[in-house]
């Protein structure tokens, strides 16, 4: 109790001018000079992990570890017990950067540069967003503060604490439990890498990959805005594959899409007595229906039936299926004067 009273006197004396400004306008205060902070470490929350529970005057250490490419900041979410709302203008939330020495459970005294200071709001939660760089898209609102000065990775870890700014606060207030969680803030973009899962290995194969109509390099990471995108893979040796995907903010997405390299099929109906050539090669079968495997591209089929011979050119797509029927028809055209119909004299 004597240490707490001394600490309160030291704190209120050191920040007397700052506290007055806070009481008047509840403004965020930034200081360039080092401050001394004492307290026990309650814990170190993991980004996106569970909450850390702490009391007023405890210390919470916030670290980022390795910052992913698309992360542009973090948000601290503070849950405040309703009992502390009875002590308006009595506690302040402070955040310090450039902490020395390195945080340790055995150490109770630290020095750091104050990055944020504000009275606890008279509500059950508070949100503070901390950008990593000057150029960011992070914004705040009536319930959310954004640090005006970014905190770079080199300035982490941060020290977060809630300290009294007034005298005469009962001991029961210092037994109240606050909690803090840390969540990542992502840029409104992500990356996509598209590859063919089962490349044919054929040196003649031509593969083209597009996203929203723009060509991308297979296996190469490409940055896209968050949202819905259309992926298309076309191949000279396989049917086209299309897929609609959603990229979340900060997501690193990899797509390995398989291609269907099954050869195209041609189903040929063979009338009795007919002779069939496919690309000049005889189709040898005793059945009236032949199923042939071929390669994609242009082909020619020839039907011979008695003195009748019919040739047709056609194209088979990769993985496609084509059915070919020999149709023998008789067309009668009356070319005389007064003909009533293309297919007969008069209308019947």
321-324 and 214-216: which strand pairing?
A: unpaired
Look at residue 293 in the predicted model and tell me its pLDDT: 86
Token output for 154: 């080199």
Mean of the per-residue pLDDT values of the chain: 86
Residue 35: closest CA among 18, 23, 21: 18
Look at residue 292 in the predicted model and tell me its pLDDT: 87
Q: What are the tens digits of pLDDT across the range 111-168? A: 999 999 999 999 999 999 999 999 999 999 999 999 999 999 999 999 999 999 999 9
Look at residue 204 in the predicted model and tell me its pLDDT: 87
Write the CA distances from 279 to 108, 207, 239, integer angstroms. Answer: 88, 26, 22
Look at residue 240 in the predicted model and tell me its pLDDT: 93
- Count the alpha carbons within 13 Å of 247 in the hemisphere toward its beta carbon: 28
Look at residue 290 in the predicted model and tell me its pLDDT: 85
Look at residue 336 in the predicted model and tell me its pLDDT: 67
Look at residue 40 in the predicted model and tell me its pLDDT: 96
Question: Block means of pLDDT (10 residues each) for the chain, length 348 residues?
Answer: 46 43 37 79 95 98 93 98 92 96 94 96 95 94 94 96 94 96 97 94 92 96 97 93 97 95 87 87 83 88 87 88 80 67 47
| DSSP 3-state of 174 | helix
Look at residue 331 in the predicted model and tell me its pLDDT: 72
CA pair distance 293, 277, nearest whole angstrom = 14
Domain annotation for the chain: domains and CATH numbers: 2-186 (no CATH), 207-257 (no CATH), 262-348 (2.60.40)
| DSSP 3-state of 323 | strand
């Amino acid at each position: 109790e004597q240490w707490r009273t001394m600490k309160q006197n030291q704190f209120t004396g050191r920040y007397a001018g700052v506290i007055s400004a806070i009481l008047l306008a509840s403004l965020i205060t930034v200081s360039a000079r080092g401050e001394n902070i004492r307290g026990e470490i309650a814990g170190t929350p993991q980004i996106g992990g569970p909450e850390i529970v702490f009391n007023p005057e405890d210390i919470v250490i916030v670290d980022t570890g390795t910052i992913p490419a698309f992360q542009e900041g973090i948000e601290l979410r503070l849950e405040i017990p309703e009992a502390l709302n009875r002590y308006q203008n009595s506690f302040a939330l402070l955040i310090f950067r450039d902490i020395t020495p390195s945080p340790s459970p055995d150490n109770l005294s630290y020095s750091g540069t104050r990055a944020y200071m504000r009275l606890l709001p008279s509500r059950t939660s508070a949100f503070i967003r901390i950008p990593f760089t000057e150029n960011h898209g992070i914004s705040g609102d009536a319930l959310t503060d954004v640090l005006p000065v970014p905190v770079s990775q080199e300035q982490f870890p941060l020290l977060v604490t809630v300290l009294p700014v007034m005298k005469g606060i009962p001991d029961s207030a210092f037994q109240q439990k606050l909690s803090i969680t840390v969540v990542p803030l992502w840029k409104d973009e992500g990356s996509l890498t598209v590859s063919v899962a089962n490349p044919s290995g054929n040196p003649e194969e031509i593969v083209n990959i597009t996203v929203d109509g723009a060509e991308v390099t297979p296996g190469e990471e490409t940055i896209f805005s968050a949202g819905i995108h259309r992926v298309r893979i076309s191949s000279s040796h396989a049917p086209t594959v299309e897929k609609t995907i959603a990229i979340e903010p900060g997501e690193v997405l990899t797509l390995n899409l398989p291609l269907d390299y099954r050869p195209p099929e041609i189903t040929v109906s063979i009338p009795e007595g007919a002779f069939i050539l496919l690309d000049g090669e005889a189709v040898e079968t005793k059945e009236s229906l032949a199923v042939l495997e071929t390669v994609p591209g242009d082909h020619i089929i020839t039907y011979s039936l008695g003195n009748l011979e019919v040739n047709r050119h056609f194209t088979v797509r990769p993985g496609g299926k084509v059915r070919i029927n020999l149709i023998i028809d008789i067309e009668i055209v009356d070319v005389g004067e007064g003909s009533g119909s293309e297919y007969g004299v008069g209308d019947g």
